[in-house]
Structure 1
Amino acid sequence: MAEIQKQNSFSRLYHVVKQSLNGETLDYTQGSISKAVVLLAIPMILELSLESVFALVDMFFVGKLGENAIATVGLTESVITIVYSIAMGLSTAATAIVARRTGEKAPDAAAHAGAQAIVIALFLTVILSITGVIFAADILRLMGADAAVVADGAIFTRIMFGGSVSIILLFLINGIFRGAGDAAMAMKSLWIASILNIILCPLLIHFYGLKGAAIATLIGRSSGVLYQCYHLTKGRKGLLHFRSSHFRIDWPVIRSLVNVGWPATFQFIIASGSWIVLARLVAETGGTAASAGYQVALRNVVFFILPAWGLSNAAATLVGQNLGAGKIERAEKSVWLTARYNAFFMSFVMILFLFFPAPIIRFFTNDAEVASYGARALQICGSAYIFYGIGMVMTQALNGAGDTRTPTVINIVGFWLFQIPLAYLLAKGFNMKTTGVFIAIPVAESMIAIIAWYYFRKGKWKEVKV
């Protein structure tokens, strides 16, 4: 009997996994909440796990080029997080509004909102690309890079900023798919981008050096965007199908997207801007080796945070769709269940980082000094991972409801009024140098998680209209 029950459990699990990866059209406003979380979370976790592999592959092969190359990639990524912030802000707005329209059973209105978000994105990328291409070397200097890093890395930075359109559209269109509940399509597009990058990165680095890493990334992301666009316009008929009429300027819809999107964009810029300040502080207090070690550690932090972010995105979709369907209690239950799953996953990662930081870092670099800084950063930053997971779910739940302003205020307080001053106080005031910077990160993230939990409990997000 026990063996039969075990077989049935595996059979049900296999069916759920298969159903989630097939991208079937499902109604997430009814049925089992646990099943809805799992169906959305599996492709979202796999999607973002591949995104984190994308980053780690770059760091692995770039690491073979020396500390200047590692510092270039790290500093460029620190600044280009502004581009990611805009992409994620627009994606958050698109997810919230598309999910709300989907919950209201209005697929044409959902597609129209998604198309208007793409129009906004194309306008913004022109400005970002031109700025990045012209001022690539100045950006590296601003981040505290020395002359050798600027000389070697300016072309990498120029290519990465020049390809901003692929970054923004990849994130944005995946947000549109997630809002519609088609998480499998978002996963597949990022898989294409990541797998191409994994194949091309070592080849192009061999022939072109650091520049090859940027070219591989650009080709991979652009291929993912082309795949997305095909399925939005000419692919299989699913929850969304874009037509040319959807791209005609619709000012009321654009205003609605901007009203939700600008606080979300500012929210991520605040967070990424604080990481830029911390990266510069690490470079100031520890030099190039410390900067390189810190960047390697951050790549590993991101590797394990992105799956948790996938679970958080599942919460955002469920909140948006269930609010659209008028099922507020179901929306709230979805968040608490997702937070529980995330806390379990992140507690495992926290143990891994606390007890095995050195072997993880040494996989990416053989430089003893770089590895020493990286291991210390990873161990300290990983000490509050369980709080990261809970905070991410609460923040994304608020975003999914269209309440993007509350997380923005939380980020201003947590990062700029607390984390940065604390990092400077510990690093320079108490002369703890890079260790002080590392300590400020988990302390601030834990505080942000507690505040986000408090505001979600208050429940004002239930009244937001988008």
Structure 2
Amino acid sequence: MTKSTLSLKQIGSLFKQAVSGKEQEFTSGSIRKAVFMLSVPMILEMLMESIFAVVDIFFVSKVSVNAVATIGLTESVVTLIYAVAIGLSMAATAIVARRVGEKEYEKASQAAVQVIVLGIVVSLIISAIGILFPKEILQLMGGENDLVAEGFGYTQILLGGNVTIMLLFLINAIFRGAGDASIAMWALVISNVLNIILDPILIFGLGPIPEFGVKGAAIATTIGRGTAVVFQLLVLFYGWSKIKVRIKDVVVRIAVMVNLIKVSLGGIGQFLIGTSSWVFLMRIMSEFGSEVLAGYTIAIRVMMFTLMPAWGMSNAAATLVGQNLGAKQPKRAEESVWKTGKYCAYFMGLVSIVYLVFATQIVSWFTSEPNVVSAGSLCLRIMASGYIFYAYGMVVINAFNGAGDTVTPTIINFVCFWLFQLPFAYLMALTFDFGPTGVFLAIVFAEVLISIVAIIWFKKGRWKLTEV
């Protein structure tokens, strides 16, 4: 992949290689090619993840406003599960990538097993809470009585089956760290196809299958993700990846697990800060009624459709940093980050223009309620104004994580989310009567601040000295 312009045929050939997983070496050769070969399947993987959200909202929006708001409130709680899953997955990616860069494949496999064990233990605890207290969870989040009565089944099933969410995240993180991004992508393809097929059948009913309403969306999602986890485990145990788990690897290794927990604590703390901030923002939004809450939920789901590809590119940066540090090439690791950030900014800049111009039309695809459309389109326009900052912020933050330095992003998140975003959102929305606009502005300003601070810190270069 040279600096000259590539023909469509050459791009098509590279794309085919990327999705087939043929490219395995990322510590030598062209950095641009390495970024492309990792980013393509990771972007497609994240697009598949975001399709879950969009598909569920599309079908559930045909049920009721309360059903959409139920998903919004439940997802704000599920983000706490994501915090643990992503925190562990950051450690998994960093450690597996470092071991692969060092050519220590057996140690990478041992780390993979410990990640899966930890994920199962945590998910069982969350399942018990979700199954026993779904109504209380929705009430705690500010759900009105009719919303709780209609939607608690969705919350119960989604949280009860959260092991599928947890393992899908964690095992895909293992594949990404190994550079097998295409396998992670195909796992999401499987889960999405099943979700798209099952959603309308289970929500609205078909033949002998009864109409489950909003609860059907949770059943479809859980079945889709669960099937993908079975596929992932087959790949791990049958050796279709760089990481091959053998029977002798399926034991608890205290030293490996301690190292994994040490690295993951920063990541879990980092995302608990971020996601708990989102929970409090959702609580503030619930003060303005179900229609505003539904509009906000639709806008966030639409945004996730384009934030996920950016997250995919940032995951590529994390893998490149981890593997190149393992191969003792810190300069190449740093160059990979800046190039990935530039490509991500190009993409996010184009998307922001689309959202700024067509926000109303996009939200109208999901609902015809005028107040819901108004709130959702306002949210989409304000948030899109910071998209280029988000691009660099996501890539640089994930580069720290790929190096195993999960402490630095945790500090950045604490300052920008808890000390700035939450007080600002509360004051603007409720004290100074800006309403939902105050919350939207707080989100944008906090993300811009994160990007600026992260870039300044990254340039200091201390992340290059992190050992995992």
Taking structure 2 as the reference length, the TM-score comes to 0.97
User: Where in structure 2 are there 5+ consecutive unaligned residues?
Assistant: 206-211
> Does 2:11 match 1:10?
no
Structure 2 equivalent of residue 219 of structure 1: 223
Q: Which residue of 2 aligns with 1:129?
A: 127
Among candidates 238, 242, 249, match of residue 246 of structure 1: 249
Which whole-Å CA distance do the structure 1 matches of 2:49 and 2:242 have between them? 24
C-alpha separation between the residues in 1 aligned to 2:370 and 2:239? 51
Paired residues, number: 459
What code does the residue aligned with 1:271 have? G
Measured after TM superposition, the shift of residue 9 of structure 1 is: 2.0
Aligned-partner Cα distance in 2 for 1:69–1:235: 42
1:109 counterpart letter in structure 2: K
Residues of 1 paired with 2:11 and 2:384: CA distance?
A: 31
Assess if the C-alpha contact under 8 Å between 1:71 and 1:291 holds in 2: yes
Q: CA RMSD in A?
A: 1.1
Which amino acid letter does the alignment assign opposite residue 232 of structure 2?
Answer: Q
- Corresponding residue SS for 1:65: coil
Preserved CA contact (<8 Å) 1:97 1:257: yes
Shift in Å, 1:405: 0.6
Residues 268-307 of structure 1: matches in 2 within 5 Å?
268-284=271-287, 286-307=288-309
Q: Which of 459, 462, 466 does residue 460 from structure 1 map onto?
A: 462
Contact persistence 2:355–2:381 (CA under 8 A): yes
Letter in structure 2 aligned against 1:63: S
Structure 2 matches for 1:49-128, cutoff 5 A?
A: 49-128=47-126
- What residue identity is the alignment partner of 1:158? Q
How far 1:167 moved relative to its partner? 0.2
Deviation >6 Å, runs of 4+: none
In structure 2, the residue matched to 1:395 is 397
Alignment of 1:354-433 (within 5 A): 354-433=356-435
Structure 1 CA distance, aligned partners of 2:158 and 2:272? Answer: 18
For 2:27, the equivalent position in structure 1 comes to 29
1:188 and 1:342 mapped to 2: Cα distance?
Answer: 22
Question: In the alignment, what sits opposite 1:320?
Answer: 322
Deviation track 1:350-400 (CA, whole Å, cap 9, x = no partner) reads: 111112110010001111111111111111111101111110000000000
Q: Which runs of 5+ in 1 are unaligned?
A: none
Kindly indicate whether the alpha-carbon contact (under 8 Å) linking 1:178 and 1:186 is maintained by their aligned counterparts in 2: yes
| Residue-by-residue CA offset, 1:418-456 (whole Å, 9 max, x unaligned) | 001000111122111111111111011000111111111
The reply on whether 1:231 has 2:229 as its aligned counterpart is: no
Alignment partners' CA distance in 2, 1:198 and 1:88: 24
Task: Give the C-alpha shift of residue 235 in structure 1.
Answer: 4.8
Deviation at 1:271, TM superposition (A): 0.7
Tell me what 1:340 maps to: 342
- The 1-side partners of 2:11 and 2:249 are apart by 39
Shift of 1:247: 2.1
Could you tell me how far 1:12 is from its partner in structure 2?
Answer: 1.9
Give the distance between the partners of 2:23 and 2:96, measured in 1 at CA: 15
Task: State the match for 2:162 in structure 1.
Answer: 164
2:448 maps to 1:450? no
Q: Amino acid of the residue matched to residue 75 of structure 1? A: L
* Residue of structure 1 aligned with 2:42, choices 44, 64, 78: 44
Q: What residue is the counterpart of 1:308 in the other structure?
A: 310
- Residue 301 of structure 1, CA deviation: 1.2
Quote how far apart the aligned CAs of 1:132 are.
1.2
Query: After superposition, what is the alpha-carbon deviation per residue over 1:150-193, rounded to whole angstroms, capped at 9, x for unaligned?
Result: 00111110000011100000000000000000000000001101
Say whether the 8 Å CA contact 1:25–1:239 is kept in structure 2: no
In structure 2, C-alpha distance between the alignment counterparts of 1:293 and 1:11, rounded to whole Å:
42
Give, in angstroms, the shift of residue 240 of structure 1.
1.1
Give distance in 2, aligned partners of 1:244 and 1:134: 35
Letter paired with 1:69: A
Which amino acid counterpart does residue 365 of structure 1 have in structure 2?
T
Q: After TM superposition, give the deviation of residue 23 of structure 1 in Å.
A: 1.1
